[in-house]
Amino acid sequence: MPLYRPPSEGNNLIIQATLGCSANYCTFCSMYKTKTYRARPLDQVLADIDQAAHEWPTASRIFLADGDALTLSMDNLRAILNKLHETFPGLTRVSAYATPKNLIDKTVDELRELKTMKLSLVYMGIESGSTQVLKRVIKGASHKTHGMALDNANAAGLKVSATVILGLAGRAGWEDHIASTAQLINNHPPTYLSTLQLTLDEGAIDEFMAEQEAGFEFQDDDAILLEQEQLLKLLNPPKPVIFRSNHASNCLPLAGNLPRDRDKLLDIITAAKEQIHLRRSPFIRGL
Ligand code: SF4
């Protein structure tokens, strides 16, 4: 522990294939700071799968934890996915978090092979399409490498659920943050796109601020709604993208398909800009 999983994996079986995150340097993220990354010994993972099957033989959707199980070698992933396949006759989907690096380090053929073994969905934190913003939060990725990672996943037929963090560039940098992010999504569309609001653990604030330019100011909810509005205005993906802002951090939950529902979502934002009672209060946002 701690163990994290995406909200949409809440009803699914979780198998811990790795511990921690192989990157673990992003300044805004405290999820795995108490863990040193390591791959769990394969025999232990396979034993966990046997035990899980005993408890829940009909499990059909399985999430491989922790932070980026896709970093495992192909041999390890093959062994784990084969075991899941043999053990759960009703298996329909395996998913995992993935860093952009994970999706670039593996070839499209390797990703395609994983897909044939039912690893069909990866969750990737884009955070921003702006290389400058990504540098300041030590993401270890750029606009270009994000695009390469999304292209590899798309070419292999993997679904990508991507997240973007509103507020990440602060008051001075938000326009470049949003414009670059929209450009990235328009050129390399994922299957799902979610926005989160920047929320730092108290212990992470100093590390985050140490990399920012002097005078960095955090965005308030009014400014976040402006970012959300501008992002939706600029998004025009060539294929439908399922959009959500239902993460606990968001002041305004939204859901729709882009570009089809853009005007409807913009109307909801306009109303929430004018009427504060339409927004979620901070005390129910898990902040
Ligand atoms: S790659 Fe993801 S899980 Fe790892 S430190 Fe960065 S944001 Fe956190």
Atom of ligand 1 nearest to the CA of 21: 4
Mean pLDDT of the chain: 96
Token pair in block for residue 210: 């140490």
**Residue range 63-95, pLDDT digits in tens:** 999 999 999 999 999 999 999 999 999 999 999
pLDDT category of residue 41 using cuts at 50, 70 and 90: very high
What pLDDT, on a 0 to 100 scale, did the predictor assign at position 92? 98
Distance 40 CA to ligand 1 centre (A): 18
Is 125 near ligand 1, meaning CB less than 6 Å away?
A: yes
What pLDDT, on a 0 to 100 scale, did the predictor assign at position 286? 64
Q: State the average pLDDT over residues 228-249.
A: 95
Task: Locate the domains of the chain by residue range.
Answer: 7-284
Atom of ligand 1 nearest to the CA of 67: 3
* pLDDT exceeds cutoff 90 at 287: no
The one-letter code for the residue type at 219 is Q
Closest residue to atom 5 of ligand 1, CA basis: 24
Is 26 near ligand 1, meaning CB less than 6 Å away?
A: yes
Q: State the average pLDDT over residues 5-10.
A: 92
Q: What pairs with residue 95 in β-bridges?
A: 63, 121
What pLDDT, on a 0 to 100 scale, did the predictor assign at position 268? 98
Is 67 near ligand 1, meaning CB less than 6 Å away?
A: yes
Q: State the average pLDDT over residues 5-11.
A: 93
Token pair in block for residue 138: 């030590």
What pLDDT, on a 0 to 100 scale, did the predictor assign at position 6? 93
Is 87 near ligand 1, meaning CB less than 6 Å away?
A: no
b/e map of 155-175 (b: 16 or more CB within 10 Å)? ebebbbbbbbbbbbbbeebbe
Domain 7-284, classified CATH 3.80.30.20, yes or no: yes
Atom of ligand 1 nearest to the CA of 99: 1
What pLDDT, on a 0 to 100 scale, did the predictor assign at position 282? 84
Atom of ligand 1 nearest to the CA of 22: 4
- Check: CB of residue 120 under 8 Å from CB of residue 95: yes
**Residue range 171-225, pLDDT digits in tens:** 999 999 999 999 999 999 999 999 999 999 998 999 999 999 999 999 999 999 9
Residue bearing tokens 């921690």: 20
Token pair in block for residue 268: 């909801």
Distance 253 CA to ligand 1 centre (A): 23
Is 24 near ligand 1, meaning CB less than 6 Å away?
A: yes
